[in-house]
Amino acid sequence: FRAKRDYVLSRLRAVPGLSCPTPQGAFYLFPTFSAFYGRITPAGKLINNSEALCLYLLETCHLALVPGSAFGDDECLRISYATSMEELATACDRISEGLAQLAID
């Protein structure tokens, strides 16, 4: 799990605007995505909170992430790394590509 955690951490930290603390346990990351709030999806929807960002990533990138609002921090999303390295690489690619498609308002 350490290798998986470190891989996803390095991929997320390479995305401009994202910050991600190193988790101390479990198999979840809780990166801050709020730098992407206020942006517009290709479909013209405003991303204004963690739920809107999760919905966009689900519908557009086919990623199931959990809004940070469910854990008391709407600036973040919860990401599990309890899967294969292949799935993690695909997910990181999709996150990067999905965020890159958001237009600055």
Q: Print the SS3 string covering the chain.
A: CHHHHHHHHHHHHCCCCCECCCCCCCCEECCECHHHCCEECCCCCEECCHHHHHHHHHHHHCCCCEEHHHHCCCCEEEEECCCCHHHHHHHHHHHHHHHHCCEEC
- pTM summary value: 0.93
Joined together, the tokens standing for residue 2 give 């350490």
pLDDT grade, residue 15 (50/70/90)? Answer: very high
| pLDDT given for residue 24 in this prediction | 86
| pLDDT given for residue 25 in this prediction | 84
- Check whether 7 has a pLDDT greater than 80: yes
Q: What is the pLDDT of residues 26-44, one digit of tens each?
A: 899 999 999 999 999 999 9
Q: What is the pLDDT of residues 46-86, one digit of tens each?
A: 999 999 999 999 999 999 999 999 999 999 999 999 999 99
Q: What angle do CA 88, 26, 28 make, to 5 degrees?
A: 40
- Check whether 105 has a pLDDT greater than 80: no
- Residues 5 and 27: their CA atoms lie apart, in Å, by 7
| pLDDT given for residue 26 in this prediction | 86
Residues 61, 62, 65, 70: is their CA dihedral positive or negative? Answer: positive
